[in-house]
Amino acid sequence: MPKHTSTDAGTRREPVPVGLFLASTRRPGTRRGALAAPDLPHWHGLAPGSLAYLIRRYTRCGDVVLDLDAHPSVAAAARYLRRAPARLVPAGHSFRVRLLSAPHGARRPRREVRRPGPGAALVLVTLPRAGESSLDLHGTTRAIAAWRPLVRPGGFLIAALTARGSQPATISHRSTVIAAARTAGLIYHQHIPVLLVPLPEHDPHTGPEAAGEPEDGRRLLAGRHLPAYRDLVVLAGTATGEEATHA
């Protein structure tokens, strides 16, 4: 998850590490605690417990977790970890960050913000945005540049990419998001694929499907492969010297 990179002069830029979330094999309701509620949906393939693990790796107790999509599992996981979930709400011609009030019986964070200063420790967002032209480089750059002030120095923005794979001789959506983030002033920190289906017990083969095999057991739909994973791109905000020391 959060990585340490070498800053020695003359060294080559290290490749960005890749994390991997395997598809959950738990049945609903088998996990104990506040995140076992059956009405909590998965967040882009991550069960609420796995989502809580992701949030815990990028934040500390009392940190603000800003979800731009108002997903219920994000708020539940943040409260479970004693973080402060927040939403972006209209304020005149602009927007402001509003901390969500805790429901009755929910655990409250020990303090609202761990470090002084504006911005959230973690911002979660889905790309492309509904109703916005955010598949092209310019549109994505404008969107990320508008979100950059929401990330505090040393904080992170995690973008879940929902666009289908790129066509031959075209640039992938992930590459477009990474280029846009660098233009907007964020650092490409990590790539996390989330598997949407369990890994097969045996090596897949390229032979034809066996006759009589149930339709739901196939990995094809209308002759095209079903999505097997979702990309999460982690972008880091710049940190001051003091914040980098204590990170």
Mean pLDDT of 187-212: 71
Tell me, yes or no, whether 64 lies in a domain.
yes
Q: Quick check: 205 pLDDT over 50?
A: yes
Report whether pLDDT(182) > 60: yes
Q: What are phi and psi of 242, to 5 degrees?
A: -65, -40
100 occurs within a structural domain: yes
Q: How many domains is the chain built from?
A: 1
Does any domain span residue 13? no
* CB-based contact 61:82 (threshold 8 Å): yes
Q: Is residue 204 part of a domain?
A: no
Q: Is residue 9 part of a domain?
A: no
What is the span of the domain harbouring residue 144?
A: 34-162+172-198+226-246
For residues 188 and 182, the answer to whether their CB atoms sit within 8 Å is yes
Per-residue pLDDT tens for 109-161? 555 444 445 789 999 999 988 766 567 889 899 999 999 999 999 999 999 99
Rounded-to-integer distance, Cα 27 and Cα 215, Å: 22
Any domain includes 120:
yes
Is residue 73 scored above 80 in pLDDT?
yes
- Average pLDDT of 80-106? 81
d(CA 73, CA 51): 8
Residue 216, pLDDT above cutoff 50: no
Q: Quote the pLDDT of residue 176.
A: 92
Give the pLDDT confidence score for residue 86 in this predicted structure: 94
Q: Is residue 75 part of a domain?
A: yes
Helices 48-58 and 72-80 cross at an angle (nearest 10°) of 60
Q: Which of 186, 185, 161 lies closest to 175 in space, CA to CA?
A: 161
pLDDT in tens, 15-55: 666 666 665 555 444 444 667 677 799 999 898 999 999 99
> What pTM was computed for the model?
0.74
159-167 mean pLDDT: 76
Residue 112: phi and psi, rounded to 5, are -70, -45
Note whether residue 144 is domain-resident.
yes
Pairs from 137-146 (Cβ < 8 Å, separation ≥ 24)? 137/176, 137/179, 137/180, 140/176, 140/177, 140/180, 141/180, 141/183, 141/184, 143/180, 144/177, 144/180, 144/181, 144/184, 144/186, 144/235, 145/183, 145/184, 145/185
Assess contact for 150 and 97: CB atoms under 8 A: yes
**CATH code where residue 150 lies:** 3.40.50.150
Q: What are the distances in angstroms from CA 56 to CA 2, 147, 162, 167, 225?
A: 11, 21, 23, 35, 33
Average pLDDT of the chain is: 75
Q: Decide if pLDDT at 247 tops 50.
A: no
Cβ pair 236, 57 in contact under 8 A:
no
